[in-house]
Structure 1
């Protein structure tokens, strides 16, 4: 297998996994914000989503206010955010297109259809009320991709490079979440040493 082919398969899966991870972070932030104890949005949940995805600095440069609308726009539709759902789906599709003859028709259809449908979405139509349904759609499309990958691809080097991309991204996302929020998991008497 050529290194270029292995790289494209790796990144195809990794970007698809990242798109799903970002949508899950936003879903958690959305649910946390609507059930916050104070009854008012203080931005804690949205800040957590930005920190876990590693795009706090980019967000702060572009937006003045930390709220649902701005965080969702940055993490879903922003062309400037390398980890936005939009960029991840586009890059996954580009990587799949470069190895089009090495993947199954079902896998290509899952990736290509997702990108085409996403590109048709007007960001202005994703209101706070519609955000959960849209995030569920992103997750459903990620499941379709995983199903096509797991059920239609031969178990050869290409499959294993695709799986590696998926699991490396999953491990990276898990590490980011733990690094961002690990202090809440500790018992009250443990001392946190950042040195």
Structure 2
């Protein structure tokens, strides 16, 4: 297993620890900050694994499949954890997760046909916007950050929808070829 793939696996392994600190008060107010550090660290591995894979020509089918899956797991877990605090509405998170299920379904159908579909630029923009949104919402610094958080929520939603439409449009042949 190459370094980028190890970083992807590390990101997946960080998720339960992140969720634990997001949902527990084991460290008092520090739980939020530990969760934030874990989320930032996991998000950084996303940037790092892609950069290393591209620069060293270490792109693998495992990475093409697992990297977006690891991102979905991290970001969706974070958004679900933000619902009880009222920082995100359940309807918003449901739309985000529905998009992820649709894309994962496309990838499974494509995989059945021997096709691996890598993440698009719209999907990458969406992921970055969602990660920044989660960071701002967890930090909860108040003042202008409250407005920034609200703007990021809407930017994330728009990018989620745009990336879904782009993904389906570019890969519709996967469904038509699959006999659907």
* TM > 0.5 fold call: no
Higher relative contact order (CA 8 A, sep 6+): 1
Structure with the largest fraction of helix = 2
Q: Given the two structures, how large is their TM-score scaled by the length of structure 2?
A: 0.40
Q: Given the two structures, how large is their TM-score scaled by the length of structure 1?
A: 0.38
Find the structure with the greater CA-based Rg. 1
